Structure 1
Amino acid sequence: MADADLVTIRRALISVSDKTGLVELGQFLAGHGVEILSTGGSAKALAAAGVPVTEVADHTGFPEIMDGRVKTLHPTIHGGLLARRDLPEHVQAMEANGIAPIDLLVVNLYPFEATVAKGADFDEAIENIDIGGPAMIRAAAKNHGFVAVVVDSSDYAPLKQEMAENKGAVSLTLRKKLAAAAYARTGAYDAAISIWFAGQLGDSFPRSIAIGGELKQVLRYGENPHQQAAFYTGGAPRIGIATATQLQGKELSFNNLNDTDAAFELVSEFTEPAVAIIKHANPCGVAQGKDVAEAYARALRCDPVSAFGGIIAVNRTLDAATAEQISSIFSEVVIAPDADEGAKDVLAKKKNLRLLLTGGMPDPREAGMTLRSLAGGYLLQTRDNGYITASDLKVVTKRQPTEKEIADLLFAFTVCKHVKSNAIVYVKDRATVGIGAGQMSRVDSSRIAARKSQDAAEAAGESEPLTRGSVVASDAFFPFADGLLAAVEAGATAVIHPGGSMRDNEVIAAADEAGIAMVFTGMRHFRH
């Protein structure tokens, strides 16, 4: 390593809210003869541990004022961080103004995100917006040619390693890495503040948006092996894939994460014990039951072929009986709010199966935003948290649906919300019996769902398709009667869809002629 790349750390400024590893770092720096400047609680913690430390106020000759809002915003500090040591005029300015160079800045910011997450009111959140910290971080990162900046305690180790190997000096390579991490942190911090502030104002779509996230995992590859990918957490806290603890199994892939998120969001829609089996972000079986074991068996019955290698989500604590059923076929991931010891023991025998526990269920009615990238931009929208109750249904046919049909219709329409458009879902006794997803024509989705139902019946040794006597849901209106007639042919006795087509009267007439019940929701659930 060339000596020109090395900067010897002689003076450091430490000001951290998260004091993890602080004392150990201070002791290490002091052991290398580094003069330490510090503020407030950081200075007290260092001094209590016997680390020599100088208060910033003593260094600048200016006291902390305004309840600590102004302490590091001072020319002596920023001059020491920003001065270029290779420019004579900068060196002369330092000498003329009594500014000592600062070679290392260790700062982590006021915990704004954590403060908001715990439900703090407006004033408390505002007080946890750091000002001096980001200003110093940006200054030190800009001047990384001469200053090392550390914003995360996880970077203490590489800093100490380099100083130990280089007689107290740090390389340009590490300083650049630390500077990049510093700007990423201040960017994410400002993003969190701007998003929160817009929310306080009720402004869903501000003039500019900032997106911040924290790396959780670098993935083996993306959707395909030739693509690179990583998983970042960020945005409003939500129970699910981001909060899950992986108890066993291989590393999760890009597709695993995407499909598991879809499965858990779907199963969260139901208050009764429920199971969703997902393949390629589409459900291949969803059911409720008196318990999770029954729900799983009924969900699997819908499409046992597609369930192979799928993702399984449950909305109750996973028990041993259900785990035994799950272990009978190959599955990629099981996600649940919790699992009992019996279930863990059963699934532990499946070494490649990933078991994820989230600690709770997300609220399907919770407001929030979803983001999707386009070439050169983003699509931002509110989460589809819409739902329909029996009182929202408008019966448009001569025949009224029975109470049992209404329960199944509502279940089917809820599942339909999580199926790629064009979506058709057949349901009987609160279990899917046929699903048609992602087709360009709604009639094709109807026919595919019916055919898969016939295949499932054959696999179960039954003589007629599972759709006989079912109800059917469509995520959007039937533009023509043909899609409806395909559902009738499959054996559906009642239909639920948004309505609103120019040909609604033709579709209603076809339903009346077939003697089935039809209800309109007035709400559609496109999913692309």
Structure 2
Amino acid sequence: MEDFFVMTKRALISVSDKTGIIEFAEALQSLGYEILSTGGTKSLLKENNVEVTGVDEVTGFPEILEGRVKTLHPSIHGGLLAKQDNESHLKQLEEQGIKPIDLVCVNLYPFQQTIAKSNVSIDEAIENIDIGGPTMLRASAKNHAYITVIVDAADYGTVIEQLQQDGKVDAETRRKLAAKVFRHTAAYDAYISQYLTKVAGEENPERMTITYERKQDLRYGENPHQKAAFYRNPLGSEFSIAHARQHHGKELSYNNIKDADAALQIVKEYDEAAAVAVKHMNPCGVGTGSSPSEAFEKAYEADPTSIFGGIVAFNRAVDGKTAQKLVDIFLEIIIAPAFSEEALEILKSKKNLRLLTVPFDRQTDHEYVYTSVEGGLLVQDQDSFTLEDADVRVVTKRQPTDEEWAAMKMGWKVVKHVKSNAIVVSDDQMTLGIGAGQMNRVGAAAIALQQAGERAKGASLASDAFFPMDDTVEAAAKAGITAIIQPGGSVRDEDSIRKADDYGIAMVLTGVRHFKH
């Protein structure tokens, strides 16, 4: 038995992503490893003068079924799964003429990249589901007490360094590499399950497996005593903070990311030029206009106090004129489809100001919203319901004017993004007062109306949910509101309608609420 296993170390290499693989194989060969390989990897290594033994030479069996079967053989998996200090295992290997494999370097068919293509067919996607690769990786990772298994080119240097210095890879590194393998194969299977679940039209499947990749470590979470990191969905929407490009400023913090996402979700509601200012996950000012500069002026005027230290998002490229207005106040982040060269020069004078661009032309039709609760996960569709989708009814004696319709539409777009209970007072181009996160609706209205002040006269009021009593209508009327838009659905809707009629207010019911907890 001892004579049978007196042999050089063996490394099995089979990779789709061939980054750095030639140098890695050359280093292994210089350390005395016999290289086993398949298909394109074998050809590439041979072309670069690396001595390679084909897997078919080891198995005595050719690759078949267009390469679908090549490594699925006892001569390979016996060498991967044998305990190399177990006499029974070694005896069985000798009886079958199988020699151990000491190092495995495998990465998988590019399934993720394949399904990310806009025109991918299901047949193409299926052909890019790797079978042999995950099987070798899982076998090697299970047997990491004896085998070094590598799935990431970033680890090539560490492995070679340890082999050169110590002649082996230490147990701690082998275990970390094995853990990475299982994370990798779990993510790979998650992509496949997500894709096939979508293709099959399954909603709310009995199990949900989702996977994210780390984008960055964060200094801390919501508070300095909380550890945090930022992960992104590699197949998620490019129209997102997770895939945004940062041009300037400090790294984003946990709270920056949440606020920036909130701002982006609001500004995408608008077709005309719009600017949205956000503080603590709520809009503090929203404005529209003929240009980003005009839109920002209105967003700023909506609440010049709260915007301090806030985040501003635009749905138009920021030009020099707009940048000059932005640079005069303290902001954490500015988000836009693009910045002109002049704008970048102006804004980069603020050392810590983060400047982000997001591709507004790549908005997706559908994304799920995931919310963690202790011990579980809530999953829902995005609230993409618009006023155009609603069955809108005028329920008062007076019909809204064109100006009031425009003002109500403005408020309705904003109120769905305000923490409940939510009230928004607006005209047709800007918010005037926002009441957010109150335990009762009339309290939210009181805050919004107080903030609007004299500007409430002739303005509209939008509510994210129905009025349980007519007290909100009463408060709105006394402040000078002339039009109200709300979902309706209360058993006391008639009380609110009568109160609106008493004051000559036009009231519209949408039948759709927009709670945001």
1:361 shift after superposition: 4.8
Which of 478, 482, 487 is 2:476 aligned to?
Answer: 487
> Where does 1:53-72 land on structure 2 (aligned, <5 Å)?
53-72=52-71
Match of 1:224 in 2: 223
1:163 shift after superposition: 2.3
Match of 1:287 in 2: 287
Match of 1:466 in 2: 455
Match of 1:382 in 2: 381
Match of 2:156 in 1: 156
Whether the aligned pair in 1 keeps the contact of 2:460 and 2:482 (CA below 8 Å) is yes
1:396 shift after superposition: 0.6
Match of 1:46 in 2: 45
TM-aligned CA distance change 1:121 to 1:489, over 3 Å: farther
Give the letter aligned to residue 351 of structure 2: K
Hey, what's the Cα distance between the residues in 1 that align with 2:355 and 2:9?
49
Which of 485, 490, 501 is 1:512 aligned to?
Answer: 501
Match of 1:354 in 2: 354
Whether the aligned pair in 1 keeps the contact of 2:422 and 2:434 (CA below 8 Å) is yes
Hey, what's the Cα distance between the residues in 1 that align with 2:213 and 2:165?
30
Matched, 1:185 2:184: yes
Unaligned runs of 5+ in 1: 1-7, 455-464
Hey, what's the Cα distance between the residues in 1 that align with 2:155 and 2:477?
64
When the two chains are superposed, the root-mean-square deviation of aligned CA atoms in Å is 1.6
Match of 2:512 in 1: 523
TM-aligned CA distance change 1:164 to 1:491, over 3 Å: farther
1:390 shift after superposition: 8.6
Whether the aligned pair in 2 keeps the contact of 1:277 and 1:283 (CA below 8 Å) is yes
The one-character-per-residue Cα deviations of 1:278-305 (angstroms, maximum 9, x if unpaired) are 1111110111111111111110111111
Name the SS for the 2:366 alignment partner: coil
Whether the aligned pair in 1 keeps the contact of 2:390 and 2:510 (CA below 8 Å) is no
Whether the aligned pair in 2 keeps the contact of 1:117 and 1:237 (CA below 8 Å) is no
TM-score (norm 1): 0.93
Match of 2:102 in 1: 103
Match of 1:37 in 2: 36
The one-character-per-residue Cα deviations of 1:165-199 (angstroms, maximum 9, x if unpaired) are 323x2111111111111111111111111122111
TM-aligned CA distance change 1:82 to 1:390, over 3 Å: closer
Give the letter aligned to residue 183 of structure 1: F
1:226 shift after superposition: 0.9
Give the letter aligned to residue 370 of structure 2: L
Hey, what's the Cα distance between the residues in 2 that align with 1:337 and 1:133?
40
The one-character-per-residue Cα deviations of 1:208-238 (angstroms, maximum 9, x if unpaired) are 1112111111111111111111111116421
Match of 1:370 in 2: 369
Match of 1:325 in 2: 325
Matched, 1:206 2:198: no
The one-character-per-residue Cα deviations of 1:101-141 (angstroms, maximum 9, x if unpaired) are 11111111111121111131211111111111111111111
Hey, what's the Cα distance between the residues in 2 that align with 1:330 and 1:132?
56
TM-aligned CA distance change 1:390 to 1:468, over 3 Å: farther
1:164 shift after superposition: 2.9
Whether the aligned pair in 1 keeps the contact of 2:213 and 2:234 (CA below 8 Å) is no
Whether the aligned pair in 2 keeps the contact of 1:315 and 1:361 (CA below 8 Å) is no
Give the letter aligned to residue 267 of structure 2: V
TM-aligned CA distance change 1:362 to 1:258, over 3 Å: farther
1:497 shift after superposition: 1.0
Name the SS for the 1:179 alignment partner: helix
> Where does 1:234-313 land on structure 2 (aligned, <5 Å)?
234=233, 236-238=235-237, 239-313=239-313
Hey, what's the Cα distance between the residues in 2 that align with 1:115 and 1:9?
38
Hey, what's the Cα distance between the residues in 2 that align with 1:46 and 1:271?
54
Match of 1:403 in 2: 402
Hey, what's the Cα distance between the residues in 2 that align with 1:443 and 1:391?
24
Match of 1:501 in 2: 490
> Where does 1:405-484 land on structure 2 (aligned, <5 Å)?
405-454=404-453, 465-484=454-473
Hey, what's the Cα distance between the residues in 2 that align with 1:277 and 1:450?
19
Moved more, 416-425 or 106-115: 106-115
Match of 2:393 in 1: 394
TM-aligned CA distance change 1:129 to 1:398, over 3 Å: same
Name the SS for the 1:389 alignment partner: helix
Identity %: 50
The one-character-per-residue Cα deviations of 1:366-386 (angstroms, maximum 9, x if unpaired) are 122111111211111111111
Give the letter aligned to residue 36 of structure 2: L
Whether the aligned pair in 2 keeps the contact of 1:389 and 1:410 (CA below 8 Å) is no
1:23 shift after superposition: 1.6
Match of 1:462 in 2: none
Whether the aligned pair in 2 keeps the contact of 1:497 and 1:520 (CA below 8 Å) is yes
1:362 shift after superposition: 5.2
Hey, what's the Cα distance between the residues in 1 that align with 2:311 and 2:69?
53
Hey, what's the Cα distance between the residues in 2 that align with 1:93 and 1:489?
91
1:358 shift after superposition: 2.0
The one-character-per-residue Cα deviations of 1:395-415 (angstroms, maximum 9, x if unpaired) are 111111112211221221111
Hey, what's the Cα distance between the residues in 1 that align with 2:436 and 2:190?
36
Hey, what's the Cα distance between the residues in 1 that align with 2:486 and 2:63?
65
1:9 shift after superposition: 9.1
Matched, 1:14 2:3: no
Name the SS for the 1:466 alignment partner: helix
Whether the aligned pair in 2 keeps the contact of 1:263 and 1:312 (CA below 8 Å) is yes
Moved more, 230-239 or 423-432: 230-239
Moved more, 204-213 or 148-157: 148-157
Hey, what's the Cα distance between the residues in 1 that align with 2:425 and 2:8?
69
Give the letter aligned to residue 435 of structure 2: G
Unaligned runs of 5+ in 2: 1-6
The one-character-per-residue Cα deviations of 1:316-336 (angstroms, maximum 9, x if unpaired) are 112122122111111111112
1:491 shift after superposition: 2.3
Name the SS for the 2:276 alignment partner: strand
Match of 1:461 in 2: none
1:503 shift after superposition: 0.6
Hey, what's the Cα distance between the residues in 1 that align with 2:72 and 2:320?
60
Whether the aligned pair in 1 keeps the contact of 2:298 and 2:429 (CA below 8 Å) is no
Instruction: Tell me the matched-pair count.
Output: 509
1:254 shift after superposition: 0.7
Give the letter aligned to residue 146 of structure 2: F
Whether the aligned pair in 1 keeps the contact of 2:390 and 2:511 (CA below 8 Å) is no
Name the SS for the 1:307 alignment partner: coil
Hey, what's the Cα distance between the residues in 1 that align with 2:114 and 2:82?
35
TM-aligned CA distance change 1:279 to 1:86, over 3 Å: same
The one-character-per-residue Cα deviations of 1:438-463 (angstroms, maximum 9, x if unpaired) are 11111111111122223xxxxxxxxx
